[in-house]
Every structure is written in structure tokens, then in C-alpha cells.
């Protein structure tokens, strides 16, 4: 009886492993196809310098809360972006440090009466400022809304251009990030939102807010995250893009059509993962209204972000992300297997529920079952080891797929040492790091079940981002 039960459980886990990895493999193949197509189209871009004159005016909204240390450098870098028509709207979300004072002195701001329309909900604005030095810079000082979503909404109300990019105050953009990010809007007029690949800035060298030299972080936690980001952006999102089922545009950098943001009610201040919730909501509303739309994704590294280097910060981030995932799916559950939802309802949402949301739960049960079973003599150790080895080898295969995609598309880590380090990380992340992320995600899962609320999160900035 017990051996039959054990075998049934073994088959269940094997089936789950096979399903999840086949899904990832399919994503990887789709991503290879998308990247190839994208690389061909970029070679078209190079043909005519005049192509770069095609542009849509864009407003960069930068929500900031207690960013006193880096805000002036970050905004100066944003103001130097290569794009013909853009404005920067910084939203100070009632910071308790001297973020606003730094902005006022750094950019010679003076208050002026902005008669804006409140089209999406946000906490009251205390004052608006404009810069005497930069005509395209405005700063909004508002009451603290407790979350990034509220600050972003204030920015959406005030900005004036048809495209809005939400940018993290500590995000490092490439000089041509905007030109790249608006491409989906130029190529497909149905595009309502678009994102690009986010990379880890830890270990890189910066000069005046721009990336000067790319390197891998020395901190092992940050190094593991490099692999995770490659997996997530290169084959996670690029795989969904051709199916019209991108469910996440990263909060670090995403471009939206302003009219769409207003139509769907802006960011949800109650959402823990406001970036994912917004995209899933856009899918839902567009499907409900039977409208044509497209959410684009480009594999170019458009934004570099500071990854947490301590277990506490990383744990808190991963717990929040998983909590946000559950909430986004729950709030938009209309999409689940809805006949009107197309690939989003029949592929993406079931995938996210089964493999992303429930993944840590199943993985944790698997670990406990095999390790516990072996300890208590239900399973022989050699059999448990086979399953653990399988989990390890499949995890490594997916990471190596991501490294291959990176090499194939936009290789940033060009030194042999860096490639070796990436391979080492792909192997070593399976020993400890992966189990930790399962634990944090599990915590997020239970937080979602119990419905706890979330506030602005401050991550300790890494010391390994070398600034000059």
C-alpha cells in the first residue's frame, strides 16, 4: 500500500516536473524565434539614420520616496537621455528625508501653479515645481500615499505626453533606452504598453548616472539574481510576447499609452505588485471590451537596477513579488479560462497559477516528501537523490538556456571570466539559493492567502555599484 502511494506521488511529481519544464522549453524556443526576428529588425533600424527621427513624445514619471542619496544624479542622467521630445516628472511621495530639498537646490526648482486634471486616484498634491535650468523637468510634491502606485498615479495625472514611462528613481537607463522602448508603439499602433529587459547593475561601473562598464557582482546573492533576471526576461517574457500574453512589464521601467492608463484607472494603490496587476488588468479590460491591443516586449537591456545583496532585503522583495502575483491573478480572475480571453486566459494565466503561484508550494512539498520519506524509510535514499538530481539538472538546463539566449541576443558579459562565473552561478544556485527563494515565495503565498497590505519598500543600495 505504502509503496503504491509512494509511486503515485513520485509519478505526480515527475508529471509536474515534466510539464513545467516542457512549458519552459517551449517558452525558450519561442523566445529564440522572437529574438531572431527582433535582431533582424534591428539590423533594419541601422539602415537609415532617419528612422531614429520617428518618435512619439514621452513623459518619464519617476516616483521617489526617501531617495535623497541618489535622486539628483538619477534625474540628471534621465535628463541626458537621447530622445528628441520628452519630459521628466518626479513625484516626491511625501518623503521623510530631504529628497525634495535636494531636488529644489539641485535643479533650481520654483513652485508654480499647475492646473492638472485628476484622472486617476491619488493622494493630494501639495505643490508642483518647475526647473529654471531644465524646461522639461517638473517635480510634484504630494502627501505620502504609502506606495509607489499612488505616486505613479500622481505623475500620470500631471504628465502631458501621449506615452508615459514609469521609471524607478534608482533605475539606470541606457542613453537610447527611450528610442528602443517606443519601438513597439511605432511598429504596432495597437500597442498599449511595452517593457524591456531589466539587468542587474551590481558590479557595474557608473559615470554620472550612466553605465560605463558592465561586470558581474561580487556578492553571490546578486550574482544568482543575474541568472534569474536572464531567465525571467530573456525567455520568460520574450516567450510570451509572440503569443500576445506578456503579463508583466517590470515596475523598474515600463512604457504605457497615457489614454490606456487613464481608461483602466491607473495603478492600483491596494496592489502589492502594482506593475503586474496593472498589466493583467489591462488584458482583462481590453478582453472584456473586445478591443484590439498589444503589449510589447523588447529583449534589449533598457534598464539596469540595483539588486538586493542581503538575505533580509532579498527575502522581503521575493515575498512581496509572490504576494503581488497571487493578488494580481485573484483581482483579475475573470481571465482564468475565459472563452473570450484567448491565449492569455488559456495559456498564460493557467501557467502562472500552476507553475508560478503554486510552484513553490509544490516544490516545497516535493522537498519535504523526498527528504522526509528517505529519512523515515518510506523511500530509499538513492531514489530520493535521483529526484533531487533531476530537479537540479533541469534547473541548471533552464539557466544555461538563458545564458545561451543572452549570448545569442545582446551579450553584455563578454569576458571569459564572466561567462565562467555565469555557468558557476547556474550550477550553484541550486544549492541553497533556490531553496531559499522557494521559502520566501511560500511566505508570499501565505501572505496573499491571509491578505496582508504592503507599504513602500526601501532596499539597501549595493556597495558594489561603482560610481565615478
Partner 1 sequence: MQDFPFALASSAPISVALWLTVVSIAASLLLLLYTLELRVRRRFRERRRANVVAYWRTIIAGAVTGAAASGAAPKLRRRERQEFLRLWVYTRSMLEGAAAERLIALAQSLGLTEFVRGQARHTHVGTRLMAMQALGYLRDRESLAELAAAIDDTNTLVSISAAEALAAIDPPRAVALLIPKIAQRRDWPRTHVFKVLQRAGSDVISEPLYRCIRAASDEDAAYLLQFAEIAEFDVRDALAGELLRSSTNPELLVAALKTATGHAPIPRLDELLAHQVWYVRMQAAKLVGRMGRKDDLGRLEKLLGDDEWWVRFRAAKALVRLHGVSVSDLEEVRSRLHDRYARDMLGQAMAEAGIR
Tell me: does residue 96 bind partner 1 (CB under 8 A): no
The cell numbers describing 129, all together, are: 515645481
The cell numbers describing 225, all together, are: 539574481
Tell me: does residue 54 bind partner 1 (CB under 8 A): yes
Give the neighbor-by-neighbor strand order of the sheet with 210-213.
Answer: 210-213, 205-207, 466-467
Which x/- pattern, by CB under 8 A, does the window 126-145 give for partner 1?
Answer: ----x---------------
Rounded CA-CA distance 220/310 in Å is 10
Rounded CA-CA distance 410/398 in Å is 18
Sign of the Cα torsion 64, 90, 150, 443 reads: negative
Which of 198, 214, 344, 403 is in the footprint of partner 1 by CB under 8 A? Answer: 403
Is 285 or 397 the residue whose CB approaches partner 1 more closely? 397
Rounded CA-CA distance 313/337 in Å is 35
Count how many residues are written for the chain: 468
Of the candidate spans 201-209, 282-290, 311-319, 385-393, the one that interacts with partner 1 by CB under 8 A turns out to be: 385-393
Tell me: does residue 383 bind partner 1 (CB under 8 A): yes
Is 289 or 382 the residue whose CB approaches partner 1 more closely? 382
Instruction: Decide: helix, strand or coil at residue 433.
Output: helix
Tell me: does residue 365 bind partner 1 (CB under 8 A): no
Residue in the block written with cell 471590451:
289
Least CB distance to partner 1 at residue 429 (A):
13
H or E element in which residue 207 lies: strand 205-207
Which x/- pattern, by CB under 8 A, does the window 191-230 give for partner 1?
Answer: ----------------------------------------
Instruction: Decide: helix, strand or coil at residue 240.
Output: helix
Give 339's DSSP letter.
T
Which of 40, 290, 292, 468 is in the footprint of partner 1 by CB under 8 A? Answer: 40
Instruction: With CB under 8 A as the rule, give the number of residues binding partner 1.
Output: 44
Which of 1, 44, 290, 292 is in the footprint of partner 1 by CB under 8 A? Answer: 44
- What is the signed CA dihedral for 353, 227, 440, 459, rounded to 10 degrees? -120
Is 46 or 468 the residue whose CB approaches partner 1 more closely? 46
Rounded CA-CA distance 139/161 in Å is 16
Rounded CA-CA distance 420/457 in Å is 33
Is 57 or 466 the residue whose CB approaches partner 1 more closely? 57
Least CB distance to partner 1 at residue 157 (A):
11
Which of 380, 424, 449, 467 is in the footprint of partner 1 by CB under 8 A? Answer: 380
Which of 26, 125, 354, 394 is in the footprint of partner 1 by CB under 8 A? Answer: 394
Of the candidate spans 84-92, 192-200, 281-289, 379-387, the one that interacts with partner 1 by CB under 8 A turns out to be: 379-387
Write the CB contacts of 369 (distance below 8 Å, at least 6 apart in sequence). Answer: 9, 13
Closest CA to 198 of 133, 253, 243: 253
Tell me: does residue 22 bind partner 1 (CB under 8 A): no
Least CB distance to partner 1 at residue 283 (A):
25
Tell me: does residue 1 bind partner 1 (CB under 8 A): no
Sign of the Cα torsion 219, 224, 227, 231 reads: negative
Closest CA to 86 of 134, 151, 131: 134
Is 262 or 459 the residue whose CB approaches partner 1 more closely? 262
Is 72 or 400 the residue whose CB approaches partner 1 more closely? 400
Which of 387, 433, 445, 448 is in the footprint of partner 1 by CB under 8 A? Answer: 387
Tell me: does residue 4 bind partner 1 (CB under 8 A): no
Tell me: does residue 56 bind partner 1 (CB under 8 A): no
Q: Where are the alpha helices (DSSP H) in 332-432?
A: 342-343, 349-351, 359-375, 381-408, 416-428
Which of 2, 259, 343, 393 is in the footprint of partner 1 by CB under 8 A? Answer: 393
Least CB distance to partner 1 at residue 51 (A):
8
The cell numbers describing 78, all together, are: 534621465
Of the candidate spans 197-205, 229-237, 382-390, 456-464, the one that interacts with partner 1 by CB under 8 A turns out to be: 382-390
Which x/- pattern, by CB under 8 A, does the window 97-116 give for partner 1?
Answer: ---------------xxxx-
Write the CB contacts of 345 (distance below 8 Å, at least 6 apart in sequence). Answer: 287, 335, 336, 337, 338, 339
Residues 405-464 that bind partner 1 (CB under 8 A): 407-408, 411, 419, 423
Write the CB contacts of 152 (distance below 8 Å, at least 6 apart in sequence). Answer: 61, 63, 91, 166, 266, 267, 274
Is 223 or 405 the residue whose CB approaches partner 1 more closely? 405
Closest CA to 88 of 178, 150, 148: 178
Residues at the site binding partner 1, with contacts judged by CB under 8 A: 7, 10-11, 14, 17-18, 21, 40, 43-44, 46-50, 53-54, 112-115, 117, 130, 186, 380, 382-383, 386-387, 389-390, 393-394, 396-397, 400-401, 403-404, 407-408, 411, 419, 423
Amino acid at each position: 500500500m505504502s509503496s503504491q502511494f509512494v509511486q503515485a506521488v513520485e509519478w505526480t511529481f515527475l508529471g509536474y516536473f515534466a510539464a513545467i519544464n516542457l512549458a519552459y522549453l517551449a517558452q525558450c524556443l519561442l523566445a529564440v524565434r522572437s529574438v531572431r526576428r527582433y535582431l533582424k529588425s534591428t539590423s533594419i533600424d541601422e539602415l537609415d539614420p532617419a528612422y531614429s527621427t520617428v518618435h512619439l513624445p514621452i513623459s518619464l514619471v519617476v516616483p521617489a520616496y526617501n531617495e535623497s542619496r541618489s535622486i539628483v544624479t538619477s534625474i540628471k542622467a534621465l535628463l541626458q537621455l537621447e530622445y528628441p521630445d520628452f519630459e521628466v516628472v518626479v513625484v516626491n511621495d511625501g518623503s521623510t528625508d530631504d529628497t525634495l530639498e535636494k531636488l529644489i537646490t539641485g535643479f533650481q526648482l520654483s513652485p508654480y501653479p499647475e492646473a492638472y486634471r485628476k484622472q486617476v486616484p491619488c493622494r493630494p498634491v501639495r505643490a508642483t515645481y518647475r526647473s529654471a535650468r531644465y524646461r522639461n523637468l517638473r517635480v510634484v510634491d504630494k502627501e505620502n500615499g504609502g506606495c509607489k502606485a499612488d505616486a505613479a498615479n500622481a505623475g500620470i495625472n500631471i504628465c502631458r505626453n501621449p506615452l508615459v514611462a514609469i521609471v524607478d528613481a534608482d533605475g539606470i537607463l541606457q542613453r537610447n533606452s527611450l528610442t528602443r522602448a517606443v519601438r513597439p508603439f511605432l511598429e504596432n499602433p495597437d500597442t498599449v504598453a511595452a517593457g524591456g529587459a531589466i539587468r542587474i547593475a551590481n558590479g557595474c561601473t557608473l559615470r554620472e548616472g550612466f553605465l560605463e562598464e558592465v561586470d558581474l557582482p561580487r556578492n553571490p546573492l546578486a550574482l544568482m539574481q543575474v541568472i534569474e533576471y536572464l531567465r525571467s526576461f530573456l525567455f520568460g517574457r520574450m516567450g510570451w510576447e509572440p503569443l500576445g500574453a506578456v503579463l508583466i512589464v517590470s515596475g523598474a521601467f515600463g512604457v504605457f499609452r497615457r489614454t490606456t492608463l487613464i481608461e483602466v484607472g491607473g495603478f492600483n494603490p491596494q496592489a502589492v505588485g502594482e506593475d503586474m496587476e496593472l498589466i493583467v488588468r489591462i488584458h482583462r479590460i481590453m478582453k472584456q471590451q473586445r478591443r484590439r491591443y498589444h503589449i510589447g516586449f523588447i529583449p534589449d537591456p533598457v534598464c539596469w537596477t540595483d539588486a538586493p545583496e542581503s538575505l533580509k532585503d532579498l527575502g522581503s522583495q521575493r515575498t512581496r513579488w509572490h504576494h503581488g502575483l497571487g493578488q494580481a491573478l485573484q483581482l483579475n480572475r475573470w481571465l482564468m479560462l475565459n472563452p473570450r480571453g484567448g491565449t492569455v486566459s488559456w495559456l498564460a494565466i493557467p501557467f502562472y497559477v500552476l507553475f508560478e503561484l503554486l510552484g513553490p508550494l509544490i516544490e516545497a512539498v516535493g522537498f519535504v516528501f523526498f527528504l522526509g520519506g528517505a529519512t523515515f524509510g518510506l523511500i530509499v535514499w538513492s531514489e530520493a537523490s535521483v529526484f533531487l538530481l533531476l530537479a537540479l539538472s533541469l534547473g541548471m538546463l533552464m539557466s544555461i538556456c538563458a545564458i545561451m539566449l543572452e549570448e545569442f541576443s545582446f551579450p553584455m558579459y563578454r569576458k571569459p571570466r564572466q561567462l565562467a562565473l555565469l555557468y558557476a552561478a547556474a550550477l550553484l544556485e541550486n544549492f541553497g539559493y533556490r531553496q531559499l527563494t522557494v521559502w520566501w515565495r511560500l511566505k508570499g503565498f501565505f501572505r496573499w492567502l491571509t491578505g496582508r497590505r504592503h507599504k513602500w519598500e526601501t532596499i539597501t543600495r549595493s556597495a558594489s555599484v561603482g560610481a565615478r
